[in-house]
Amino acid sequence: MKTPIPTRLKALMLVMGVFLFSFAAHAEFVDSKEASLVNDSVLSPAIAIVKETKNSHFSWGAEFGTSIDMSGYDSSTFNIDAMVGYRSSFFHLLGAGAGVHRSMGTGDNYIPIYGIMRTSFSKNKKLFFMNLKIGYSFNTIGDAPMFGDVNCSLGAGINLASGRTYRSYLILGYEFRHFNQRNKSKADLKADDVSLVSISFGVNF
């Protein structure tokens, strides 16, 4: 029996979607406005602030995607993630993230919290990059109480459109969920591990 989507979860998904859309639209506006300026000496204070922000090592972003269960346990999910951290010429992102992953078949919920490293292993701009996430997932499966277990993923990404204040990308990855014996019994699971293939679209600012 499918579990109805909690009202708080619906609200979280809606807020994250509106948040990402509004900032992406703002980034596009700032880029087009700045490109129209010919003389840097007459930059407005607002554009100067944007240029200063661009040189900051602080970065945040969001991803939307799906994970397809390759183990046959009906655990495919629709995913929304947000992350924040440090960026440099070598690291696209080095920080932490959290997400809401909801099973499309059973209505089960997975809430992963993880460390993330995203890099192309070069200080020069590259088309492709590696994406690594390692963390812990808080799961609500069936009628069992919430429990946590290991969750990690490794993916290859490709950079799409980018501007002075943002970068969009696509990631194809492998995701691994592990359930210990105690939690496996709690949720009446048949598997110790679940393997998934994931695809995600994201934007970083």
Q: Is residue 2 part of a domain?
A: no
Write down the pLDDT at residue 201.
98
- Domain of 127? 7-204
Q: Is residue 145 part of a domain?
A: yes
User: Which CATH number goes with the domain that contains 38?
Assistant: 2.40.160.20
Does residue 27 contact residue 165 with C-beta atoms inside 8 Å? Answer: yes
- Overall domain count for the chain: 1
Q: Is residue 154 part of a domain?
A: yes
Amino acid at position 75, single letter: S
Question: What does the block give as tokens for 6?
Answer: 């909690």
CA angle 156, 199, 29 (to 5 degrees): 90
Distances (CA, A) of 178 to 31, 96, 113, 139: 43, 20, 14, 11
Q: Is residue 70 part of a domain?
A: yes
Q: Is residue 165 part of a domain?
A: yes
Write down the pLDDT at residue 38.
39
Write down the pLDDT at residue 50.
43
Mean pLDDT by runs of 10 across the 205 residues of the chain is 50 52 48 45 45 72 96 91 96 97 91 97 94 96 88 97 92 93 78 92 96
Question: What does the block give as tokens for 185?
Answer: 């019994």
Q: Is residue 1 part of a domain?
A: no
| Predicted structure pTM score | 0.72
For 87-103, the pLDDT digits (tens) are 999 999 999 999 999 99
Q: Is residue 100 part of a domain?
A: yes
CA dist 25 and 6 (Å) reads: 29
Q: Is residue 104 part of a domain?
A: yes
Q: State the DSSP string of 8-73.
A: HHHHHHHHHHHHHHHHHHHHHHHHHHHHT---GGG--HHHHHHHHHHT-SEEEEEEEEEEEESSSS
